[in-house]
Amino acid sequence: MTDAELLALYQARDERALTETDLAYGKLCRGLAARILGDRQDAEECVNDVLLKLWNAIPPAEPENMTAFVSAVTRNLCFDRLASAKRKKRGGGMLPAVLDELAPYLASEDDPEDCIDKIALQESIARFLGTLSKESRMIFLVRYWSFQPIAEIAKQHGATVGSVKMQLKRVKEKLRTHLEKEGLL
């Protein structure tokens, strides 16, 4: 089923939209949720929440890119679940270690004078990503957007784990330099 046909089902409020979405994007959602949450059962529950969120969001939303829309909804719900777990002290409320890898390269949220408007930071990072080679950009995004393990990234790109780690290190250093030049660090 095409994305246009899928959107038409949502627009018509046809419940088949949920089944078709699960068929088309369920594997993507489950993999992303499992990487973020670290637990298959929590990931499965999150995917059910994603389907409900999509049902409530479309319409009025009319996403141009369903893959990106579904991924963003999945990520946001996973992070909400992690924050909730942390607040309720149910254990497992820590963000994935990959976010800790980026922390030294981004502004500290502890110092209000260093906090930058979220939109300005997003725009700056988007401009930065546009300066990277396609391979570097993809490696960076699958690591820090999709939370893929470095070994999996290396396999997908036909590279060694060491070379992917080095490439990520170089990109993070370039990101730091870019953000410093733009006055965001």
Q: Classify residue 93: in a domain, yes or no.
A: no
Are 113 and 68 within one domain? no
Q: Give the CATH number of the domain where residue 129 resides.
A: 1.10.10.10
Are 72 and 7 within one domain? yes
Task: From 21, 53, 87, give the residue that closes a domain.
Answer: 87
Are 83 and 102 within one domain? no
Domain that holds residue 74: 3-87
Number of domains in the chain: 2
Are 20 and 43 within one domain? yes
pLDDT at 121: 72
CA dist 136 and 132 (Å) reads 6
Task: From 64, 87, 110, give the residue that closes a domain.
Answer: 87
What own/partner pairs with CB < 8 Å and gap ≥ 24 does 164-173 have?
164/139, 167/136, 167/139, 168/101, 168/139, 168/140, 168/143, 171/132, 171/136, 171/139, 171/140, 172/101, 172/102, 172/105, 173/105
Q: Classify residue 92: in a domain, yes or no.
A: no
Q: What pTM was estimated for this model as a whole?
A: 0.56
Q: Classify residue 175: in a domain, yes or no.
A: yes
pLDDT at 24: 92
pLDDT at 21: 92
Q: Count other C-beta atoms under 10 Å from residue 29's C-beta.
A: 27
pLDDT at 62: 86
Q: Give the CATH number of the domain where residue 11 resides.
A: 1.10.1740.10
Are 14 and 52 within one domain? yes
User: Which positions of the chain have pLDDT values less than 70?
Assistant: 85-120, 184-185
Phi, psi of 184 (to 5 degrees): -100, 0
124-159 tens-digit pLDDT: 788 888 898 988 988 888 888 778 888 888 998 899
